[in-house]
Amino acid sequence: MDSYRSILEAVREGKTTVEEALMQLQREPFADIGLAKIDFHRRLRKGAQEVIYGAGKTAEQISAILQAMKVRQALPVLVTRLDRDKAAEVKQAVPEFCYHQEGKVGILGEVPAPDGKGKILVLTAGTSDIPVAEEAALTAEFLGNEVVRCYDAGVAGLHRLLAHVDEIMEARVIIAIAGMEGALPSVVGGLAPCPVLAVPTSVGYGASFGGVSALLSMLNSCASGVSVVNIDNGFGAAFQASMINHM
């Protein structure tokens, strides 16, 4: 964003012509590095750099994309769905790369200080949901939000959730994450005065169908103000929560 502002300020101050500035902006939209076309206008449109989806990419491909973004000062960069072994290879090529194993998330560059309007509360029903929750929490922090974590507070022991009513009432957005029957978002939706983003996880026994049961339960929530993202999509919930928190 700073690079675009400097171009516009140069035009205003007469240091460059409109035509020269237009040429610079036209060169900006993306860079074709062969294995990927990196979208450098993403931050201008969406408020955040393009995020690298790590699953399905080799460590060499991820490293090449990170290095290209580093050269263009398109930092910080977030990498999601990155396993430990692949992350270790990336770190060899890009030493300043930081990996968070629990959420399978990697970050290159400094995470900004929180500038959202309030707090994002990340709730999980169980400890087994924490990997998805950490993807959500780390993504939300990367996008400039203050995050409060509250894990293992599902409806199997409702008193555990009620012990966090203060956090629920103070949040500006809540990400409620659950597998099994996916009941947590409905309960939270009945208590919370803010939007609740429900994330079904693939945690559960056979009849949970890899998270489909939780997904359908959340889609059929009787609580108002509950929206649902895809199974295990902590990143998607966090991005939406961040947009709400910055409005």
Nearest alpha carbon to residue 78 among 48, 39, 56: 48
User: Of 52, 73, 108, which one is at a domain's C-terminal end?
Assistant: 108
pTM: 0.84
- Which range marks the domain in which residue 37 is found? 26-108
**C-alpha–C-alpha distance, residues 222 and 46, integer Å:** 32
Looking at residue 143, its amino acid is: L
Same domain? 165 vs 190 = yes
pLDDT score recorded for residue 2 = 57
Question: pLDDT by residue (tens digit) across 126-170?
Answer: 999 999 999 999 999 999 999 999 999 988 888 888 889 999 999
Rounded to whole angstroms, the Cα distance separating 90 from 128 reads: 27
pLDDT at 155: 87
* Residue 25 confidence (pLDDT): 64
Residue 5 lies in a domain: no
Could you tell me if residue 138 is inside a domain? yes
What is the phi/psi pair of residue 244, to 5°?
A: -65, -45
Which pLDDT belongs to residue 10? 82
Give the ranges where the chain is alpha helix by DSSP (H): 2-12, 18-27, 42-46, 59-71, 84-93, 130-142, 158-162, 165-170, 184-189, 212-219, 234-245
Residue 36 covered by a domain: yes
Say if residue 160 is in the same domain as residue 52.
no
Q: What is the pLDDT of residue 24?
A: 65
- In this prediction, residue 31 carries a pLDDT of 61
- Flag residues of the chain having pLDDT under 70: 1-4, 22-42, 44
Asked whether 63 and 77 are in contact (CB, 8 A), the reply is no
| Per-residue pLDDT, 44 | 67
Contact 156, 124 (CB under 8 A): no
Domain assignment of residue 41, yes or no: yes
pLDDT for the residue numbered 106: 95
